[in-house]
């Protein structure tokens, strides 16, 4: 549209303005980013592949560096993951199914294979009336080394429901929760304590963790003596098996 200017030009350009108005804007809807699909893995098949790459000498070398027995590492399914240049530890749910894989390299760095679900570290051979609960697969190996039936948590927090269900499946009657010697370790033990339905006690070794305690000379008899001197929690059992 042409409009006469209030300031006519003195030249030959004329005294008209050409009002174009606001250009018509094209509004495009903002698309939400696609929801990433959850990665699913066949953890059991992957572990079988790792086991085929594993030689006994590899497990023996890891055992020596950790201060545990090779047999304890073999009991929990430790294998060498060539593609990750690390050792692999299977994580299981309460039924025994492998649902994830923890990796540990020679520097002690730990991570999980993408698509893994956090689970427990254990061997069915550890089924017993009394078991210990520790943090991680290497503390688990240390406990097995000194003859303590044990379940390993993925960390100081989490997997409480799987622990409770596994204890019920094993018909466990008492539990010793062994924590790392730090605040998060104790807090995680207290959280788990509130969910246990069998007599239990929480104990912290005088070292960094249980594996360090075993390397320093700690053994099953010492742990038994110290935990028996503590006050045990005896919760009301709500399990249906104990109801009239």
Q: Which helix (H) or strand (E) holds 150?
A: strand 150-153
Residues 61 and 78: their CA atoms lie apart, in Å, by 12
Q: Is the pLDDT of residue 84 over 90?
A: yes
Whether 69 is covered by a domain: the verdict is: yes
CATH number, domain of 86, equals 3.40.1360.10
Whether 17 is covered by a domain: the verdict is: no
Structural domains of the chain, count: 1
Confidence of residue 27 (pLDDT cuts 50, 70, 90): low
Please give the residue range of the domain that contains residue 134.
43-234
pLDDT at 180: 96
Whether 200 is covered by a domain: the verdict is: yes
Backbone angles phi, psi at 145, to 5 degrees: -60, -40
Greater confidence (55 vs 8) lies with 55
Q: Which helix (H) or strand (E) holds 177?
A: strand 174-178
Whether 80 is covered by a domain: the verdict is: yes
Whether 5 is covered by a domain: the verdict is: no
**Under a CB-based contact definition with an 8 Å cutoff, are residues 150 and 168 in contact?**
no
Whether 224 is covered by a domain: the verdict is: yes
| C-alpha dihedral, 176 to 146 to 134 to 64, nearest 10° | 170
**Number of DSSP helices (H) and strands (E) in the chain, helices first:** 8, 10
**Under a CB-based contact definition with an 8 Å cutoff, are residues 207 and 213 in contact?**
yes
User: 191-218 pLDDT, tens per residue?
Assistant: 999 999 999 999 999 999 999 999 999 9
**Under a CB-based contact definition with an 8 Å cutoff, are residues 136 and 119 in contact?**
no
Whether 199 is covered by a domain: the verdict is: yes
- Is the pTM higher than 0.85? no
Whether 85 is covered by a domain: the verdict is: yes
User: 110-166 pLDDT, tens per residue?
Assistant: 999 999 999 999 999 999 999 999 999 999 999 999 999 999 999 998 899 999 999
**Under a CB-based contact definition with an 8 Å cutoff, are residues 104 and 110 in contact?**
yes
């Amino acid at each position: 549209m042409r409009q006469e200017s209030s300031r006519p030009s003195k030249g030959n350009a004329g005294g008209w303005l050409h009002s174009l108005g606001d250009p018509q804007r094209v509004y495009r809807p903002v698309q939400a980013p696609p929801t990433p699909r959850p990665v699913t893995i066949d953890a059991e098949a992957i572990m079988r592949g790792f086991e085929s790459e594993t030689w006994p000498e590899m497990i023996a070398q890891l055992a020596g560096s950790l201060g545990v027995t090779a047999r304890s590492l073999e009991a929990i399914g430790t294998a060498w993951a060539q593609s990750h240049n690390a050792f692999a530890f299977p994580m299981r749910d309460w039924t025994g199914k492998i649902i994830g894989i923890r990796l540990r390299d020679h520097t002690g760095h730990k991570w999980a294979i993408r698509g893994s679900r956090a689970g427990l570290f254990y061997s069915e051979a550890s089924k017993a009336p009394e078991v210990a609960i520790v943090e991680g697969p290497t503390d688990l190996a240390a406990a097995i080394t000194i003859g303590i039936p044990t379940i390993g948590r993925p960390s100081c927090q989490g997997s409480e429901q799987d622990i409770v269900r596994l204890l019920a499946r094993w018909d466990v009657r008492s539990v010793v929760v062994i924590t790392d010697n730090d605040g998060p370790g104790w807090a995680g033990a207290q959280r788990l304590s509130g969910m246990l339905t069998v007599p239990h006690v929480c104990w912290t070794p005088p070292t960094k963790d249980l594996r360090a305690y075993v390397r320093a000379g700690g053994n099953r008899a010492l742990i038994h003596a110290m935990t028996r001197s503590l006050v045990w929690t005896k919760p009301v059992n709500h399990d249906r098996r104990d109801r009239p």
